[in-house]
A = this chain, B = another copy of it.
Amino acid sequence: MSRFSEPQDERFRALNTSLGFDQRLWPYDIAQSRAHARMLAARGIISEGDRDELLAGLDAVWAELEGGSFPFAPDDEDIHMAVERRLTEIAGPVGGKLHTARSRNDQVATDVALYTRAWAEVHVATISELCATLIAVAERHQGDALPGYTHLQRAQPVYLAHHLLAYVWMLLRDRERFRFVIGQTAALPLGAGALAGTNFDTDRRMVAEELGFSGVAPNSIDAVSNRDFVLDYLSAAATCATHLSRLGAEIVLWSSQEFGFMTLSDAWSSGSSIMPQKKNPDAGELLRAKAPRVVGHLAALHGVMHALPLTYNKDLQEDKEHLFDATDTLEACLWAAKGMIETATFHPERMAEAAADDLIAATDIADLLVRRGVPFRECHGIVAGLVRTAVESGRGLGDLSDDELHAASPHLDGEVRDVLAQRSWLESKVSEGGTASARVAEQLASARELL
């Protein structure tokens, strides 16, 4: 018997039900129910016999869900009610005892925490795999130079290994973020009841231990109102997706005819419906395009939580679709990045050609002057003048005569041309973290160690 005398409007039911999306929580929901039933029995709140019937019933429900034979009913409002309804059909009235000392409010928070933790762990592993791929490719290209760009203008040459390792460090920070997320899911909500705690002296720590939580949420109101861990997850995912969007943008750029630094494998390329010659870097573009989607989910959940009075409100149901789409999107993007990078072909000769433009060595000439005692700011002016002379006459810096050099500064002479020997531009970047080979080798070693 319900306190209501009228059935729900069909449109309301359609808006209100969450079964369409929350059914993917079922493994977490059943895991929590098993732990809950065991605890209820351990505390004497239900009998051991009841517990065993519940566990057997839950096993049967699990099997149906896993096997795809679970009979969803039109009235199932969400996965929690569906599981309990089915359990009661299978196990009989004892099924109605499972919800003792539990509310959907703490139940759903627990499921979502378990889901969030599980996916954060998956991402940690996938990120590590992607890093391993980047490192492996970097190792193959330790000696291949390409221009480093600032403002998308050629600035100073770097080794491809150095450039690829930049992504490894970004991703390792992403891994730290997901580990932080895992830490933020460590307090078990279950046991908070609807909002105030329960009328039974439950053993929340027993449940926590079984489900892999390291402690229990200390305040029942906060426990049912809190979705911080989803925000933390979405924030980590948004930053990681943004990193991948930068990688995707560079893949698109480098695959263009103008750059020509890389060719994606056929396995990671698309054709055109109309232009037979096209080979398109669709996966790179999608890496680029998916970041705003994840950022949108983050902003939306912040919006949902905005100005929401305590404790549980239906608004919190909006956490799930944002979370679920983000987990799937990010995981697919991480694999796409890995797939593209490990099967792509880089073109060292095209990169080397682009890196050979000797204007790129202007800083090195300035630094030569520094070593000869000229204040850097003054050197910068002298070399800017040389650049202007060279550009205006259509020459490179190496084409300037000794007279022209000397006229620019008495401190300049033919040694400039030694500086302009390309390899030295790269190998002179000896500061820690720089692109000189020895420094890159250090990086490779420490990145490998962190994996």
Contacts and interface: CB of A to CB of B under 8 A. Distances in A.
A159 to B, nearest CB: 9
A303 B292 contact: yes
B434 A198 contact: yes
A279 interface: yes
B81 A272 contact: no
A367 to B, nearest CB: 4
B295 A431 contact: no
Given A153-B257, A268-B12, A318-B293, A387 B250 contact: no
Contact of A156 (B11, B166, B194): B194
A155 B194 contact: yes
Contact of A276 (B166, B279, B384): B384
A307 B245 contact: yes
Contact of A158 (B105, B177, B195, B435): B195
Given A166-B219, A180-B180, A362-B277, A428 B286 contact: no
B314 A433 contact: no
Contacts of A301: 292
Interface string A94-109: 1111111111110000
Interface stretch (A22-30, A57-65, A67-75, A332-340): A332-340
Interface stretch (A114-122, A199-207, A399-407, A410-418): A199-207
A282 B370 CA distance: 28
A219 B433 contact: yes
B151 A191 contact: no
A162 B219 contact: yes
> How many identical subunits does the complex contain?
4
A221 interface: yes
Contacts of A366: 274, 276
A210 interface: no
Interface in A297-353: 297-315, 317-318, 321-322, 332-333, 335-336, 339, 343
> Chain A's interface: helix, strand, loop or mixed, by majority?
helix
Contacts of A196: 148, 155-158, 162, 426, 429, 434-435
A85 B439 CA distance: 33
A352 to B, nearest CB: 14
B315 A285 contact: yes
Please classify how large the interface on chain A is, using the bins under 10, 10 to 19, 20 to 34, 35 or more.
35 or more
Contacts of A252: 151-152
Residue from A173, A198, A242, A258 with most neighbouring chain B CB atoms (10 Å): A258
B332 A15 contact: yes
B276 A383 contact: yes
A275 B363 contact: yes
Nearest to A94: B375
Given A150-B195, A275-B363, A315-B288, A204 B377 contact: no
Given A100-B370, A384-B271, A173 B228 contact: yes
A214 to B, nearest CB: 14
A436 to B, nearest CB: 7
A273 interface: yes
A272 to B, nearest CB: 7
Interface string A2-16: 111111110110111
B276 A163 contact: no
A291 interface: yes
B376 A97 contact: yes
A274 B307 contact: no
B193 A431 contact: yes
A246 interface: yes
Given A3-B388, A376-B100, A238 B302 contact: yes
Nearest to A45: B370
A382 B383 CA distance: 55
